[in-house]
Structure 1
Amino acid sequence: MSYVHHVEQFHGLPTYTFSPYVNPGDLPAAESVAWRLQCGQLPAETDYGARGDAYAARFTESVDLGKIRAMVFGEPWYGDGGLADETLLDLAPRLTGLEAVFLGDLEDDEAMISTIYLQDVAPVLAAFPGLRELAVRGGEGLAFPVTGHEELRVLRVQSGGLPPEAAAQIAAADLPSLERLELWLGDDDYGGGTTVEHLAPLLTGRGKPALRHLGLQNSPIQDELAAALASAPVVARLTSLSLSMGTLGDEGAEALLLGQPLTHLRELDLSHHFLSHAMMLRLWTELEPHGVRVDLTSRQEDEGDDPDWDEEDGRYVAVGE
């Protein structure tokens, strides 16, 4: 199963890849789609920067920027890094209705997720005080030194290795309107290394009073995270919780069941896990009668139990390199 693919919908809108060869009169209404910028379709005789400039110029000539609600940046802006941020900041005065941005929408055949270079996203958030949704894919170079943002409702970071410093910055940020937070923490070998301590402000619920969905996903320390969440104050205000895509085993699931009540949740997503069949049955038996939808799909085998397996730990996250 591939977790890394082009988004087909973003911010409740279908994505539409802008082509410089389409007659402007045949384009959809500016506010009706999430505009995906991918200029790889232009002739390759010039470098990425020049191609990006020509493509962006054609886009700004063809689309009413003031009516755009959502933008998705693909290749080459994150093929060589940074151009998406520059384009956004240059166009900020004209993108008066922008509500959502996705940075780094590349698939595996375009760039492995661990090689998608990101930057400090604080200037983007500062330039768009009305931004409601921000999604980024990558990890290397990501920084989030944001003291606060009043309007952001959704923040998603898809990474094969989220820098621990960035995770700590997100955990500490004052985001009073944030309702959904999804962090793919990733593997230590690809730049990850986030610990429970890095996420401590988030687990207390400080700075994010509106949070209703929390995803701490794709992590090699999923059992430790589950144990921390078992008593974390933030859980009581959630309607859904995801510990998917990681290395969750029976120890972590046991901690969740013995901790604070989870019966107020509508959904508990534990997909891509290493649970025993007995523990899976116990989770269903204890939670689903209370109306909690428990997702236990994509059970993995712990290859560490195989005497022929050379690795010290046979568990693995869903998305690494």
Structure 2
Amino acid sequence: MTISLDLPRHTDETDVYYGRYAGLPTVDFSGAFDHPPGEAAWSVDDSSLAGFVEAAEAAQVRALVLFGWDETPHLVVEKLVAGAHRLPALRAIFFGAIPQEAQEMSWINQTDVTPLLTAFPDLERLETRGSMGLRLSPVRHERLRMLRIESGGLGGEVVRGVAACHLPALEHLELWLGVDEYGGDYTVEDLAPILTGDRLPALKHLGLQDSDRQDDVAAAVATAPIVARLDGLALSMGTLTDEGAEALLSGQPLTHLRRLDLHHHYLSDAMTARLRAALPTVDLDLDSQLDPDEDEGWLYTSVSE
């Protein structure tokens, strides 16, 4: 039994906010299972999590969407870990699926999500939203296929933790790196172990997105060994300019890619034309072209606060 890894065209509009998660319709849990347990992604807040886990039907649940805490996300993790033996079919967790209209990204309290990986060795998909208090320690997980971290500012400690993980089955890695003002104190050097790919032998899609240092990230990616075996690459949502795109064009060939996502960018018309000419067989997303001369020269990421 595996969980779908399909995502919409723009992964900043991930399916959990549009009524589906992990290929299943999302259904709110309100104290009882009113839908076949294994045929839905169950949306559960912290007040109902204990009852959810204790229900006999929970043994059939494949996907879980967790939301609705204030300052106690660590207690949510503790409840879920304590009940892990009651959730043998669980394959996908979205931890902190709180839409923007409910809470800004930077206001979402997070916690150490490492116990979710250690408690669920069969987990295939882990996604988180928000980075305040987020931690992930280096672990080895044999079956995780997707790891996504949505953030307006990802701390260097988290990036280094991800980079030090051994994830032999991981196919999709997506990090929203964000900006320094909202905790994004990562460096491009922190990404180096990811870019070698030594601990990620199965990776097919790499997203290093939403960065206010997107040109520097692009330059590092341009010569990264892992790129040669990717099907998809996303350097979108950030402050990519012609400088970063020039580095990509001057680096290793990208013609093997099935998809290159650069949407939300500050590229000139001339550069977008060069990219299209150089990569005619690649599904190239250049939507949301922004003018670098607007806003007095300030460049903005897609997600920050």
TM-score (norm 1): 0.87
Aligned to 2:87: 95
In 1, the alpha carbon distance for the partners of 2:151 and 2:61 equals: 27
Shift of 1:89: 1.0
CA drift of 1:193 comes to 2.2
Moved more, 158-167 or 55-64: 55-64
Superposed CA offset, 1:271-299 (max 9, x none):
000000110111111102xx201000011
2:265 touches 2:289 (CA, 8 Å); kept in 1? yes
Query: Which among 11, 26, 37 is matched to residue 22 of structure 2?
Result: 11
1:319 and 2:296 matched = no
Aligned-partner Cα distance in 2 for 1:57–1:89: 11
8 Å CA contact 1:218, 1:245 repeated in 2: yes
Deviation at 1:153, TM superposition (A): 0.4
| Distance across 2 between alignment mates of 1:3 and 1:80 | 26
How many angstroms apart in 2 are the aligned matches of 1:71 and 1:180?
A: 19
Q: Alignment partner of 2:253: what SS?
A: coil
Aligned to 1:56: 49
Q: Is 1:14–1:33's contact at 8 Å kept on the other side of the alignment? A: yes
Identity of aligned residues (%): 48
Aligned to 2:148, the other structure's residue is in SS state strand
Instruction: Please show how residues 1-321 of structure 1 align to structure 2 within 5 Å.
Output: 6-20=17-31, 24=33, 27-38=34-45, 52=47, 55-60=48-53, 64-76=57-69, 80-288=72-280, 291-302=281-292, 305=293, 309=296, 314-321=298-305
Q: C-alpha separation between the residues in 1 aligned to 2:18 and 2:76?
A: 17
Is the Cα contact below 8 Å between 2:209 and 2:235 reproduced in 1?
Answer: yes
- Once the two structures are superposed, residues 239-281 of structure 1 have per-residue CA deviations (whole angstroms, 9 ceiling, x without a partner) of 0000010000000001101110000000000000000011011
Structure 2: distance between partners of 1:61 and 1:87: 10
Report if the CA contact (8 A) 1:230-1:259 is conserved: yes
- Whether the 8 Å CA contact 1:7–1:105 is kept in 2: the answer is no
Provide the C-alpha distance between the structure 2 equivalents of 1:251 and 1:8, rounded to a whole number of angstroms.
38
1:220 Cα deviation after fit: 0.6
Deviation at 1:122, TM superposition (A): 1.4
Tell me how far apart the structure 1 counterparts of residues 204 and 49 of structure 2 sit (CA, whole Å): 37
- Indicate the residue corresponding to 1:42 in structure 2: none
Give, in whole Å, the separation in 1 of the partners of 2:167 and 2:80. Answer: 22
User: How much does 1:93 deviate?
Assistant: 1.1
The CA distance in 1 between the partners of 2:165 and 2:299, in whole Å, is 31
Cα distance, 1:151 vs structure 2: 0.6
Which amino acid in the other structure matches residue 151 of structure 2? S
Aligned positions, number: 294
Highest Rg: 1 or 2?
Answer: 1
Distance 1:226 1:185, change over 3 A: same
Q: Secondary structure at the match of 2:184?
A: coil
Find the aligned partners of 2:224 and 2:135 in 1 and give their Cα distance: 25
**Residues 98-153 of structure 1: CA distance to partner in whole angstroms, max 9, x if unpaired?**
11100001112322111111111111111001110000001011111123111100
> Would the aligned equivalents of 1:31 and 1:68 in 2 still touch at CA under 8 Å?
yes
1:241 match: secondary structure: strand
User: Equivalents in 2 of 1:84, 1:159: separation in Å?
Assistant: 20
Residues 184-216 of structure 1 show CA distances to partners (whole Å, capped at 9, x for unaligned) of 001100000221100110111110000000000
Deviations 1:79-105 (A, max 9, x none): 643232122112111001111100001
Is the contact between residue 244 and residue 272 of structure 1 (CA under 8 Å) also seen in structure 2?
yes
- Aligned 8 A contact 1:81 1:116 in 2: no
RMSD, aligned CA = 1.9
Distance 1:125 1:261 in 2: 35
Point out the more displaced range, 7-16 or 145-154. 7-16
**For residues 234 and 208 of structure 1, what CA distance do their matches in structure 2 show?**
9
Give unmatched runs, 5+ long, in structure 1: 40-51
Runs of 4 or more, structure 1, over 6 Å off, are none
Aligned-pair distance for 1:14? 1.4
CA-CA distance at 1:234 after TM superposition: 0.5
Q: Is the 8 A contact 2:53 2:87 kept in 1?
A: no
